[in-house]
A and B are shown apart, each in its own frame.
Chain A
């Protein structure tokens, strides 16, 4: 079955407006599925709850900047060494977006619970010493360990309705190869009900089969494949190009105000399609593949 879709078809057909739980892959400024995220903005797709990897970045901040996010389940949204996430910060400080406070252990193990049909996941002793669980009763509960009788933390399974992910390559059946670090992208693919993968290249199955051991997302879990070369920009695409820090700094500077964020979205997202965006912006200097 051919799952290759155009970018606009993939979002239009597979992501309902107001999607209950949307997961965005990638971690920090790496492997963010930005082509899919930008198309969410172009189509004004609202997200009731956004779920990030242990460290969300532009993938989350852009959706928040566009006013599309109701609440966000995360353990970090920021731009690492470049600074805080401007839209996320503004929205949370204003009380516009609610944060379901998480930690890295819960996001990672919660996705495993979602993938495996575990009713909940028990978390390591000691994590209860932090305030995180007290701030998020929807995701965490203190329960009695049936084996020891001790009070331990349990986390609800994380089951995204839709996961937006990036991979280096996929075939038309959706078998996808992630280059470089996997972060929790595989776990998101295993846990989500619908998976859309953007890739640098769509390749024949024979090519995927030659790397079968590294073919990290099986096609039977994937519903849409979108060929989006350069689609992680301005974040990095492992195996292909590094992060475009100059553009990221431009985003941070524009998105520092609500008005600036709107201008950014108009200039770089809503007002342009992916092809024109990349033609205008992609800097060969940041390219590690020699393309």
Chain B
């Protein structure tokens, strides 16, 4: 592994590593959209623009600032600070463009439950009408069916979060697998990657099930397996996630000087 310029583990937090890891998944021609509590993907987009993807666009749903300037990063997607942006759209326009389907190429998502096929649930654990845990609600997650790549992130990697099948399907991933995915004929590309405090995962192209890609520095594969409530597809070789390089870390901290990410 090329470790030149890599900062050593004590120098960064898990959330900072996750922002860097999400940034690496972004491309120069992407137009990304994100919603509730999205400080992490906002910093990832800001970092991507400052490094390998200067032409990337990103929209912070809620206020709908386009390329918000961050520095400082704010915790709420509706904070008026996000109006310090290159331009701002009305929320209704962003909802229209999410529906149009060919504008946004990346949608950041998450959930109280995330399942083996990348479906997300923010509505309820247990029966929706008398839930064991009532979540807040699904907001824009049904649009996951229409965007190019879904990038899932979660600050929690436990068996309660990563389950075989979501109790309520609010954000479509690969549904029940290859057959139902093919039948549904959705226009989106489906989930592309999942970043958690323990690891980065992608999806096996045949089974459309979540597959371990890399474990973060200091994390063992067994830890990931034990924290995941379904059988992860294992690649031939599990690599280690490259830690943040010092240049990446410098940008993250410039964008988030008050440490919103660290506080998570």
Q: Could you tell me which A residues sit within 8 Å of B by CB distance?
A: 27-30, 54-55, 74-78, 80-81, 84-85, 88-89, 92-93, 95, 99, 101-105, 108-109, 112, 123-127, 129-132, 135, 180-184, 187, 236, 238-239, 242-243
Contact = CB atoms under 8 A, between A and B. Distances in A.
Nearest to A89: B134
Q: How would you classify the secondary structure of chain B's contact residues: helix, strand, loop or mixed?
A: loop
A112 B95 CA distance: 12
Nearest to A130: B142
A124 B91 contact: no
**B interface, size bucket:** 35 or more
Contact of A126 (B63, B79, B101): B101
A35 to B, nearest CB: 19
B92 A112 contact: yes
A29 B76 contact: yes
A181 B64 contact: yes
A11 B122 CA distance: 34
Nearest to A239: B80
A256 to B, nearest CB: 14
A54 B140 CA distance: 8
B175 to A, nearest CB: 7
Given A76-B138, A181-B63, A28 B76 contact: yes
Between A74, A80, A89, A129, the greatest number of chain B beta carbons within 10 A of the residue's beta carbon is seen for A129
Nearest to A91: B134
Nearest to A288: B80
A135 B139 CA distance: 15
A85 B136 contact: yes
Interface string B18-45: 0000000000000000011101000000
B132 interface: yes
Contacts of B145: 126-127, 129-130
B105 to A, nearest CB: 15
Nearest to A28: B78
Contacts of A182: 90-91
Between A27, A102, A239, the greatest number of chain B beta carbons within 10 A of the residue's beta carbon is seen for A27
A80 B37 contact: yes
Interface stretch (B183-191, B210-218, B251-259): B183-191
12 contacts: A55-B136, A75-B137, A84-B134, A95-B130, A99-B128, A101-B128, A103-B142, A103-B170, A104-B95, A123-B99, A126-B187, A184-B92
Contacts of B99: 105, 123-124
A88 B81 CA distance: 28
Given A27-B62, A105-B99, A182-B90, A80 B75 contact: yes
Nearest to A235: B78
